[in-house]
Amino acid sequence: MKRFVIPAFSCLSLIAIAHPSYAQLAPYNAAGVTYGHVHVSTGNADAMKKMWVEQFGAVLSTKGTFTIAKLPGMMVAFRATAPTSGTEGAAMDHFGLKVPSLAQAISKWKAAGFEVQREFKGGEGFPNAFLIGPDGLRFELQEDTTLKAPAAAYHVHFRVPEPEKLRDWYVTTFGLTAGKVGNFLTAEAPGVRLMFQTAPAAPTITSTRGTTVDHIGFEVKNLKDFRGRLEASGVKFDTPYQEIPAIGLNISYLFDPMGTYIEVTEGYTGY
């Protein structure tokens, strides 16, 4: 039986009016958890922010000195340091978005001078592609013709020798729902699907810290209590609990068993 722990672009105002749902993460699950964000490392934060706005219709939101880009179901935060490497070779291989037309997204991407690494039919039977963005950021697109927004959160993809073990850690720690899609084991979080694929060998990158995707994040209700419950169950945190009023966030960090850095936050719903 599994153990559950319950715990300064001028067009932006027009985009915000057109897509009010961008202001919202998905509703919390029974454990008080929803998917929050990916935090990317970049040597040129302005170029990275511009890419998310122009290519995927993201809306920027700022509190204090901290700016994030909002998409339906997730946010993108920016670490203003050039990455040490990409995430290929890490347990957390990439994240993915859905778009209503893959052909249109790829055409726009190429017109901006960015690289398309590969186009293919995904394991779920839909057109997919890997894109390479600023700072070598690699992520996946999947076509969903029913989507009404320019882009939305879809998945985070892990490749490890024992995918069931890692999947069950996420299910237990964050109260997610276990499942399977095609050949992939899954853990369904509000707003995003975590997908787990069997890899023939252990990750060659032992930590995502410093890579193009420095960490992923979950937003929780009452972080201090949530953290306390996890610690009581044996989960170790990498940093103390912190409250940062200047940016409206309470935060803590931990690693998953395969080296993916995770931020647990309270406050992103106010962005």
pLDDT at res. 124: 79
Within-domain flag for 152: yes
Q: Is residue 5 part of a domain?
A: no
Going residue by residue through the chain, which has 271 residues, state the pLDDT in tens, using 9 for 90 and above: 333 333 333 333 323 323 335 458 999 999 999 999 999 999 999 999 999 999 999 999 999 999 999 999 999 999 999 999 999 999 999 999 999 999 999 999 999 999 999 999 987 789 999 999 999 999 999 999 999 999 999 999 999 999 999 999 999 999 999 999 989 999 999 999 999 999 999 999 999 999 999 999 999 999 999 999 999 999 999 999 999 999 999 999 999 999 999 999 999 999 9
Angle 177-179-184 from CA coordinates, rounded to 5°: 130
pTM for the predicted model, two decimal places: 0.90
Residue 6 lies in a domain: no
Which amino acid would we find at residue 203?
P
Amino acid at 142: Q
132 occurs within a structural domain: yes
Residue 126 lies in a domain: yes
> How many domains is the chain built from?
1
CB atoms within 10 A of CB 240: 9
Q: Using CA atoms, how far apart are residues 65 and 60, in angstroms rounded to an integer?
A: 13
- Angle, helices 102-111/45-56, rounded to nearest 10 degrees: 140
- Residue 149 falls inside a structural domain: yes
Which of 196, 198, 201, 200 shows the shortest CA–CA distance to 260? 196
Is 7 a member of any domain? no
What is the domain extent for residue 102? 12-270
Res 146: pLDDT: 97
147 located within any domain: yes
Length of the chain in residues, anyone?
A: 271
Helix (H) or strand (E) holding 226: helix 223-232
Residue 204 burial class via C-beta count within 10 angstroms: exposed 0-12, middle 13-18, buried 19 and up:
exposed
Compute the distance between CA of residue 253 and CA of residue 264 in angstroms, rounded to an integer: 6
The dihedral through the CA atoms of 233, 239, 243, 249 has a sign that is negative
The CATH number covering residue 173 comes to 3.10.180.10
Task: Give how far the C-alpha of residue 109 lies from the chain's centroid of Cα atoms, to the nearest Å.
Answer: 20
